Amino acid sequence: MTAGLMRHFSRTKAHRDSMFRNLVSQLFQHGSIVSTHEKCLEASRMADRVITMAKKLKHHPNSAMEIQSRLSLAGDNSKLLSRVVGELAPRYKQRPGGYTRVLKLEPRLGDRAKQSVLELVDTPVVDAAGALQRGDIKLWLLCKTTIQNESKSVGYSQLTLRNFAKMLKFRKNSHTFFTNDVLAVRKFIKQEQGLDWDEKHELKLVKQLKKQVLNEQAQPAQTQTQPEAPGYTYVQERPQRQI
């Protein structure tokens, strides 16, 4: 029996498959989408499978038909297959899995349904022309946190540094990440907030942030000690019963 392996969303199988094909296609085309939390979770699983098949396409050429069946390739998405195979698959070549990220949003107005953002990880923030691209909301949130810490003259928290270190784990060039992506996001946020922007001073702050992140990345992960599981304890003598 296959009942219970997937949410039905009160739709027939044909309607459900068509819905997820559209969601995954829009995700690959734009880099991020907004939908209900449950739909984002299911679309995330489907997108990860498509990218995994695209990475193995060289050794399994017949997977191309399977990839096409899971995408909506009509209209603006006519060149989507070439983007998945030629751009996304090489980007995640070293990443064993987890190509998408789900971030929760406030409940939707009206029916108060849970909303989330589904986005592709490691998405470049700046394109070849130097313009900002859509996606990588986690990086925007981290940069906003660092700016708030600097305005309050407070050091970066260990959680912030650890999250930056996670974003560097499968990136090829950490220097490009900080000098291009992080700097561009910080510039946009400061200009929107009406704060002063000094290129030399910002480069100095970004270098300090990079140094702290790399130091955090080099430290071994701390293993949390789990409490002992309850069970039987062997003793040499039977304890005296108190009357």
Residue at 169: amino acid letter: K
CB 119 within 8 A of CB 100: yes
Instruction: Give CA separation, 5 vs 1, 42, 103, 152, 221, in Å.
Output: 9, 11, 23, 48, 34
CA distance 55 to 91: 10
Q: Where in the chain is the domain with CATH 3.90.1030.10?
A: 11-121
pTM greater than 0.75 (yes/no)? yes
CATH says 124-219 is which class?
mainly alpha
Q: Which amino acid is at 189?
A: I
What fold is seen in the domain 11-121? Answer: 50s Ribosomal Protein L17; Chain: A, (3.90.1030)
Region(s) of the chain under CATH 1.10.246.170: 124-219
Q: One digit per residue, pLDDT tens: the chain, 243 residues?
A: 355 566 788 888 899 889 999 999 999 999 999 999 999 999 999 999 999 999 998 888 888 888 888 888 877 777 888 899 999 999 999 999 999 999 999 999 989 999 999 999 998 888 878 788 888 899 999 999 999 999 999 999 999 999 999 999 888 888 989 999 999 999 999 999 999 999 999 999 999 999 999 998 887 766 555 566 566 677 778 778 776
